[in-house]
Structure 1
Amino acid sequence: MVEEKKIAEGFQQTDAGIIPNDWVVKPLHEIAHFENGKAHEQFIDEHGDYIVVNSKFISTEGRVKKFSKRNIFPLKKGDITIVMSDIPKGKALAKCYLIEADDRYTLNQRIGGITANEDTDNKYLFYKLNRNKYYLAFDSGTGQTNIKRQEILDCPVALPSTKDEQENISSAIFDCNSLILELEKLLIKKRNIKKGAVQELLTPKPDWIEKELGKSAILKARIGWQGLTTAEYKDTGDYYLITGTEFHNGYIDWDNCHFVEYERYKQDKNIQVKEHDVLVTKDGTIGKVALIKNVPKPATLNSGVFVIRPIEDSFNPEFFYFILLSDVFLRFLSQLSAGSTINHLYQKDFVTFKFKVPKTIDEQESIAKILFDMDSEIEHLEKKLTKVKALKNGIMQDLLTGKKRLK
């Protein structure tokens, strides 16, 4: 016997889900006007004045554009556009875009144009319709989905009974979106600044010294015949196994590591990972780089990863880590491949890698610190962006279902 879902006091079960008792559910055709777009093929022109609102434009949040020399289906600021056709399990079906200006956009075929009635807040309606579950249910997963006009119009929409509450909800979500956009812009700016700093700081100066990797560092990897099979990977344990798949933004994502038994960990002391080790993948996707900043538990390498340790004070490992992230190392890998795809980085080749470093370790450390500080700032912004996006999702879930009210 299936247990009925308990509905909290003050809420009701409807075709649009569980909502507050004072909310209403209306089909889209009662709260908005709908039109189908028109074909633009004969008017497409890269120098056109009008942005064609098509599936690609909507699915990329407006980043990918085509232009038309004629506006054959004008859209107004505040209109909602919706993708009506997509491949099986596609990401574009029912995705919406809110038009931002008058006399700038023209609606393409298989895209719907929706204009909210004066009693309905258009932004609220946009958030309700965007990838709405009602529309996504038309996707069978086996063939092209084409949502019909009447199916678009029959969508049940849950609404606060007052437009003021609708506007309060959409404003709160819009504010979250604005913060996300600002953080994304700031991240792009910081990444570009770092890119310029890397170029400037790692460009060799006249007094820099050339090093050859094999003469200035020790390279170690697990012997091929000692490599672990996936059957030996453990989900929990006391000894991490690094395979290369855990490399994330130049560091190790320890949460995604597998584990190994102690017998495998102790096989080779030379590949037991230490702080300041530089790791490079040598199989599969070669040349991925990671720096060991900390080792939360003892860790070892599988056969697809090199560990690099400088001999005495031949160079600063953190500085070398940034060299490996630069164009210098990319060019070296390209020369090895000679235009073809390679899936193995041999030690006999890697030891010939030549690079230049400042004369003193202190100067190398200073440069590395500047770049690490930039990395830390970028990482902080990335974490903040992730939190704001999660907050926005929670806010949308609560506000668009009436679990939390903004009257």
Structure 2
Amino acid sequence: MKEQQEKYNLPRGWIWVTIGDIAILSSGGTPDRGNRSYFNGDIPWVKSGELNHGIIISTEENITLEALENSSAKIVPSGTLLIALYGSTVGKLAFLGIDAATNQAIAALKTTNSFKSKYLYYYLLHNRERLLQKRVGGAQPNISQKILEVFPIPLSSLQEQDIIVHQIESLFSKLDEAEKGLKKANNSLGIYRLGLLKSAFNGVLTKNWREDLVNDAYQELTDIKIDRKKKYEIENKKDKKIKIDYEFDYKRDDIINSWAVSSLDNLININARIGWRGLTKKEYTHEGALFLSVHSLNYGKNVVFKDVNFISIERYNESPEIKLKENDILLCKDGAGIGKVGIIKKLPDIATVNSSLLVIDSREIFNPDFLYYFFLGPDIQRLVNEKISGSAIPHLFQKDIKKFKLKVPPKLEQDKIVEILESRFTLVDNLEKTVDNVLNEIIVLKHSILKKAFEGRLVNYNSNESVENLLTTIQEEKRLYLENQKKLNYSKPKQKKQMEEKKSLLDILKESSSPISAQELWEKSTSEGDIERFYSEIKEIYHQIDELKTETESLLTIKDENK
């Protein structure tokens, strides 16, 4: 029934066949990773991550002839269509522009002279979602060679295939050109944003507006320093232990006389959770204090409080320095989201943050929005990029931020800078949304073109060629090709292959010094590219293994019997 739902009425003269009817399918293999010499050869070896809808003319790794002879890897000829079977790239396609071997996470689909390989390419591109629905397996479901072999495809005459491919590529070429221009426009808008922020914080943005301004940032900082010292002395007499916050250095800016220059240390408050204070995910609750992570910074300027965790009021009260309030700025200091920034404009309930976020209070010196844009701007983001490129685990320390020097405009000019930035950013946001909408429309239009193509509605063509006869010709060409390959293999000098030691999945896991991914386990297994067989073996031993989930993948390891 499901197979019938996948099919639809075809134009007169077309017939339904399967991919196995019109293509020769094979999969590759991975030589023993323990033998490093296997990967020092000159035979290109393609991994599934290298498939990205283009033509492969070079590979990240090369293997030796010995590696080829002692594994299930095999040479696939140039021009062959490849499709990824496994992992995050499942369903992605590419053509070989060179003779190469592949790993077992790739299926090679070789077509004959009587079938257009690009016709198959565009059909699979159009049907990727349908293929994904057929995935099987556990943590990382995959498609298999068997699934591909029985996948239905409409067969039209060879000449009509040629016309369809030509029309698709002609229309796609125009859309690709438009897409290229739109992406260039989006990139220009991003550059314009950075330019605006740069001109805001070096004084260019408000240069003309500032001419009649009498306010002076140096004097404002002097007054704030005096007021803070008075407050400290009063509180100190009451035996209240408060932090000394009036010891900050500043000077008049050399270029803009009404601006000052200072480091952020003591000007503002910067706090973070000190470690986790023993806090674990097991302590998350269904109510209590909102507990924010970097995910709340994924929605633009304003911090969003959806899909957050909760912790108990007791845990919330342990860290009063990071209890959130309106106009606090949150900056991600580590992990994949390092450098992301947001501002709290509306606080729905009491809230705090996890250890990945810095909480920044602009105090009386800065307009909070001005400080938000400063952290979004090129100076701080340059610091973030230095941390990303300089370390395997990038991290922003509080001291990195506190020692950062910046130009400080008078408060009134800060307000004006925010007003100008938000006015222009609103325009940029609207333009970006328009561009994104058109880019999405191009994606939809491409799907529509492919849908019409394989329903026989893209071109008007009446063929006198019998598609049944074409299928017979394809089948005969396949038979002759396979026979020829068999003869070639038979005529090759017999190589004495080293016997690979066949190890069970349990043995592989036991010998591994650390948890390994399902893909690595598959590469080392004896499943020989049969993903269904691999998962069948996994099921048999699942009670003996632990599955450890990271942000990007699942890792497998033997259960610790002592636990």
| TM interval, short-chain normalised | 0.5 to 0.7
Residues 1:309 and 2:356 aligned together? no
Which residue is equivalent to 1:372? 425
Pair member with larger Rg: 2
Which residue is equivalent to 2:89? 91
Equivalent position amino acid for 1:82 in 2:
L
Over 3 Å counting, the alpha-carbon distance change for 1:168 and 1:252 in structure 2 is farther
The structure carrying a bigger strand percent of its residues is: 1
TM-score relative to the length of structure 1: 0.59
Equivalent position amino acid for 2:9 in 1:
P
Which residue is equivalent to 2:51? 59
Distance 1:341 1:123 in 2: 41
Residues 1:18 and 2:18 aligned together? no
Q: How does 1:314-325 map to 2 (within 5 A)?
A: 314-325=365-376
Equivalent position amino acid for 1:109 in 2:
A
Q: Which runs of 5+ in 1 are unaligned?
A: 6-11, 35-41, 45-51, 68-73, 98-104
Contact 1:221 1:271 in 2 (8 A): no
Contact 1:177 1:392 in 2 (8 A): no
Distance 2:18 2:346 in 1: 57
Residues 1:353 and 2:404 aligned together? yes
Over 3 Å counting, the alpha-carbon distance change for 1:21 and 1:204 in structure 2 is closer
Which residue is equivalent to 1:186? 185
Which residue is equivalent to 1:126? 121
Equivalent residue for 2:293, pick from 243, 268, 277: 243
Equivalent residue for 2:313, pick from 236, 239, 263: 263
The structure carrying a bigger helix percent of its residues is: 2
Contact 1:94 1:136 in 2 (8 A): no
Contact 1:88 1:140 in 2 (8 A): no
Helix, strand or coil at the partner of 2:361: strand
The structural deviation recorded for 1:128 is 1.0
Helix, strand or coil at the partner of 1:384: helix
Over 3 Å counting, the alpha-carbon distance change for 1:255 and 1:177 in structure 2 is farther
Q: How does 1:132-281 map to 2 (within 5 A)?
A: 156-159=152-155, 163=160, 170=168, 174=172, 180-203=179-202, 206-207=255-256, 208-222=259-273, 229-233=280-284, 240-248=290-298, 251=301, 254=304, 257-260=307-310, 263=313, 267=317, 268=320, 271-274=323-326, 276-281=327-332
Deviations 1:18-53 (A, max 9, x none): 32265621356987999xxxxxxx999xxxxxxx9x
Q: Which runs of 5+ in 2 are unaligned?
A: 26-40, 60-76, 102-107, 205-254, 460-563
Q: CA RMSD in A?
A: 5.9
Distance 2:437 2:152 in 1: 35
The structural deviation recorded for 1:82 is 1.7
The structural deviation recorded for 1:380 is 1.7
Percent of pairs identical after alignment?
A: 20
Helix, strand or coil at the partner of 1:254: coil
Over 3 Å counting, the alpha-carbon distance change for 1:193 and 1:232 in structure 2 is same
The count of residues paired between Structure 1 and Structure 2 equals: 358
TM-score relative to the length of structure 2: 0.46
Over 3 Å counting, the alpha-carbon distance change for 1:399 and 1:178 in structure 2 is farther
Helix, strand or coil at the partner of 2:4: strand
Equivalent position amino acid for 1:248 in 2:
N
Distance 2:285 2:437 in 1: 32
Helix, strand or coil at the partner of 2:16: strand
Distance 1:252 1:339 in 2: 30
Distance 1:383 1:170 in 2: 23
Deviations 1:49-80 (A, max 9, x none): xxx9x87997244498659xxxxxx99xxxx8
Distance 2:422 2:314 in 1: 35
The structural deviation recorded for 1:179 is 5.8
Helix, strand or coil at the partner of 2:373: helix
Distance 2:82 2:269 in 1: 56
Distance 2:436 2:304 in 1: 16
Equivalent position amino acid for 2:51 in 1:
S
The structural deviation recorded for 1:397 is 9.0
Which residue is equivalent to 1:9? none
